[in-house]
């Protein structure tokens, strides 16, 4: 069976796109001159240095190749096979910019991993430079910068955790664990979808027993997360002079009435995830204060609290469509880019506190019947913000947590 898996892997793009490390001096960050406390774990300097370098390389979604190349360089220098899996360019990708996932493993040239350890290397805009609290480094030392939490904290902790397990020989077969770092998670999950599609094209795809996904969960093990629904609603009216509103039809007014009903509606709830929520992210309508608006467009993000994972969002879509039809059955169009129902994960592992989260992840973008774990350092409430930060203790606890999860997953 293993030989047939290896033969199949040789046919997919990510198994044949091995690239030598790319040297780029401008992305090398000087080693910190902080004093390290004697009580620090042996890997602290390695962990903080890697985290610093990852944050210092800008990698806003669509422009991730520099940090990907850095990871190839970093991992191959430590004895990993590191391959690049091309990901198709999307709208907004800068010209002449490659996009690729990074896959890495130790052991045989072609892996048949039992456990995949994965996170994303893209971040939301804008780039915020790395900074660290001055003085002696202690567990309470704070680190700031874009991606410090979401999700370069997970990436750095995962790599160091796996290195510790290899060094202690706690992984019997070095090829049993594969690292997977993907692009595009913050936008549409195109990196993970590309990886998933590559597996579906294989005659005998590898059988992953478990996948550990890295996202900020406060170092608690997530029992799952809400699903998502991402749509545009367009209202079309009849323009006219604002002094005679009865002679026209205001698209803005129609939209406001519909949105008020949607916000007050029960869009679905569950004991684990609570209520489905509806965020009006952007509202554009009209051309001038004294003109009856002909068109209004709203972009919204729903956080879906109901399942099943493949259809929960469709139930919410139907509820919203019924409200639009009640307000005006001719004026509205709804166009949804993607969605999914609530996502459940395995949180029954000794030694971890449990949590559920409301944000989305790449978990539903990877097909398969593998066991799914969701875990990582940092708090989502500071992610995407101007003061994104975590502490040294957060990172170090995550290293220990990832080690426990990897060992646990290998024994199942």
Nearest 5°: phi and psi at 331? -90, -20
Instruction: Give the distance, in angstroms, between the CA of residue 158 and the centroid of all CA atoms in the same chain.
Output: 15
Residue 185 known to be catalytic: yes
Four-residue CA torsion sign, 376, 121, 303, 367: negative
Conformational region of residue 97, where left means phi above 0, alpha means psi within -120 to 50, and beta covers everything else: beta
Residue count of the chain, please give it: 412
SS3 28: coil
Place of tokens 């399942």: 307
Calculate helix-pair angle for 152-167, 392-411, nearest 10 degrees.
60
Nearest 5°: phi and psi at 296? -135, 140
Within 13 A of 53's CA, how many CA atoms are on the CB side?
Answer: 23
Query: Under a CB-based contact definition with an 8 Å cutoff, are residues 400 and 48 in contact?
Result: no
Query: Under a CB-based contact definition with an 8 Å cutoff, are residues 35 and 137 in contact?
Result: yes
Bridge partners (DSSP) of residue 212 are 117, 373
**Catalytic residue, candidates 46, 64, 170, 185:** 185
Query: Under a CB-based contact definition with an 8 Å cutoff, are residues 300 and 234 in contact?
Result: no
Place of tokens 């047939």: 4
Rounded to an integer, what distance in angstroms lies between the CA atom of residue 401 and that of residue 221? 9
Rounded to an integer, what distance in angstroms lies between the CA atom of residue 101 and that of residue 19? 12
SS3 202: coil
Question: Which residues carry out catalysis?
Answer: 185
């Amino acid at each position: 069976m293993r030989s047939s898996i290896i033969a199949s892997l040789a046919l997919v793009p990510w198994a044949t796109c091995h690239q030598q490390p790319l040297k780029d001096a401008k992305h090398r960050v000087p080693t910190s001159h902080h004093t390290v406390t004697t009580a620090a774990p042996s890997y602290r300097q390695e962990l903080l240095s890697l985290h610093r370098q990852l944050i210092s390389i800008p990698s806003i979604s669509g422009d991730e190749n520099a940090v990907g190349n850095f990871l190839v360089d970093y991992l191959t220098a430590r004895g990993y096979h590191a391959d690049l899996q091309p990901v198709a360019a999307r709208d907004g990708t800068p010209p002449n910019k490659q996009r690729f996932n990074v896959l890495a493993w130790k052991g045989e040239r072609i892996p048949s991993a039992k456990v995949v350890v994965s996170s994303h290397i893209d971040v939301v805009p804008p780039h915020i430079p790395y900074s660290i609290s001055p003085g002696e480094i202690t567990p309470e030392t704070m680190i700031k910068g874009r991606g410090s939490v979401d999700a370069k904290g997970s990436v750095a902790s995962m790599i160091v955790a796996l290195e510790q397990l290899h060094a202690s020989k706690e992984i019997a077969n070095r090829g049993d664990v594969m690292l997977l770092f993907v692009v595009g998670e913050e936008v549409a999950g195109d990196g993970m979808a590309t990886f998933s599609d590559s597996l579906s094209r294989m005659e005998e795809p590898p059988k992953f027993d478990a996948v550990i996904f890295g996202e900020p969960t406060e170092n608690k093990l997530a029992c799952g997360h809400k699903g998502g629904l991402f749509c545009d609603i367009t209202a079309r009216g009849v323009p006219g002079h604002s002094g005679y509103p009865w002679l026209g039809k205001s698209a803005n007014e129609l939209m406001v009435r519909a949105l008020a009903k949607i916000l007050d509606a029960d869009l679905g709830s569950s004991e684990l995830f609570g209520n489905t929520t509806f965020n009006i992210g952007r509202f554009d309508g009209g051309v001038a204060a004294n003109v009856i608006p002909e068109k209004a467009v709203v972009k919204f993000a729903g956080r879906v609290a109901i399942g099943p994972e493949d259809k929960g969002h469709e139930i919410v879509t139907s509820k919203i469509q019924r409200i639009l039809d009640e307000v005006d059955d001719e004026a509205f169009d709804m166009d949804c880019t993607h969605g999914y129902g609530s996502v459940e994960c395995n949180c029954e592992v000794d030694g971890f506190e449990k949590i559920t989260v409301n944000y989305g992840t790449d978990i539903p973008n990877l097909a398969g019947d593998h066991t799914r774990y969701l875990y990582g350092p940092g708090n989502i409430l500071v992610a995407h913000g101007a003061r994104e930060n975590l502490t040294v203790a957060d990172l170090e606890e995550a290293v220990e947590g990832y080690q426990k999860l990897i060992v646990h997953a290998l024994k199942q």
